[in-house]
Amino acid sequence: MKAVVFDMDGLLFDTESLYERAILGAARELGCDMSVEVFHRFVGTPWQTNRRVMIEHYGESYPVDALRTAWMRHFGVLVEDGLELKAGVIELLELLDRIGLPRAIATSSSHDTVRRHLGKHGLAERFHAVVAAGDYANSKPAPDPFLQAAARLAVEPRHCLALEDSHNGIRSASAAGMMAVMVPDLVAPTDEIMALCSVVRSLHDVQPLLPSADDLQQADPGTMLKPK
């Protein structure tokens, strides 16, 4: 293992729960339908995919664009004072510093969103590369975001550990040829997803999977961690 690639929403930051609260609040404001079950289909997917899902589920007359505007406004209010780190983030980054592994973020969010979130917790300098919306041709579950992250770190994908919380994120990392670990947030792994990755309870549980500094010097980096 030579590098680690992180998803952002739902993995580094407890944002998915805020997005859920925000979209339900926006739907109430507009008087339109929205369910938790439909929202969970949005986790780990870009806006255009979510837009299509809403129209297919609720019909052509659904106020998709108005909902998005209200959704982002509600989210902005919630995230201003409620952006929390997920358990184990700082401890994992400190371990990566100690053993000298580079790391990147591969996310469907915008660069502006990434900068804002990282800045709130002083994490902007803790990552060696950020791959965000606009940096790749195809979003997750396509492998493009993770392949781009590996390229920016100058590490072969097979030598990267990918950390994700969503189904599409795991599909993307696996398709890129990375060693994938899921840290579930709002959605539980299915049999399909469990066949593609290892599953742990939190980022604290990722630490024992990492090699020591001595291991990195002695072992074949392609064999440090295998999906279960």
Residues annotated as catalytic are: 7, 9
For the chain, how many residues are written?
228
Whole-number Å distance between alpha carbons of 43 and 187: 8
Whole-number Å distance between alpha carbons of 200 and 116: 28
Tell me the residue ranges of DSSP E strands in the chain: 3-6, 103-106, 129-131, 160-164, 179-182, 198-199
Burial 108-119 (b: 16+ CB within 10 A, else e): bbeeebbebbbe
Whole-number Å distance between alpha carbons of 41 and 84: 23
